[in-house]
Amino acid sequence: MKKVSIVIVVLLMLAIPFVSAQEDELPDLILAASPGLHPEGIEWDAEGERFLVGSLTQGTIFAVDDEGNVEPFIEDENLMASIGIHIDTVNGVLLVTNSDFAVTSDQNATGVAQLGAYNLETGEQIYFADMTGLTEGRNFTNDVTSDPEGNAYVTNSFTPVIYKVDPAGNAEIFIQTEELGAEGFGLNGIDYHPDEYLLAAVAGTQSLYKIPLGDPASLTQVELSEPLGIDGMVLNEEGNLVTVATNAEGVRRVYELSSDDEWATATVVASGDAIPDAAPTTVTLRDGAAYVVHAHFAEIGGEEPAQEFEIMRVELVEDDMDDDVDDEEDTDDTEATDEPQPTDEPQPTDEPDADATEEVSG
Mean pLDDT for the stretch of residues 308-336: 69
Residue 338 predicted with pLDDT over 50: no
Q: Are 162 and 190 in contact (CB under 8 A)?
A: yes
Q: pLDDT exceeding 70 applies to what percent of the chain? A: 82
pLDDT at res. 360: 59
Residue 97 phi, psi dihedral angles, 5° rounding: -85, 140
Report CA Rg, the chain. Answer: 22
- Helix locations, the chain, DSSP H: 2-24, 321-336
The residues spanned by each domain of the chain are: 27-337+344-359
List, for residues 107-150, the tens digit of each pLDDT value: 889 999 999 999 999 999 999 999 999 999 999 999 999 999 99
List, for residues 214-258, the tens digit of each pLDDT value: 999 999 999 999 999 999 999 999 999 999 999 999 999 999 999
**Which conformational region is residue 99 in: left (phi greater than 0), alpha (psi within -120 to 50 degrees), or beta?**
beta
Interstrand relation of 241-246 and 229-235 (parallel, antiparallel or unpaired)? antiparallel
Interstrand relation of 125-130 and 141-146 (parallel, antiparallel or unpaired)? unpaired
On whether the 27-337+344-359 domain is CATH 3.40.50.970, my answer is no
List, for residues 166-195, the tens digit of each pLDDT value: 999 999 999 999 999 999 899 999 999 999
Q: Are 247 and 231 in contact (CB under 8 A)?
A: no
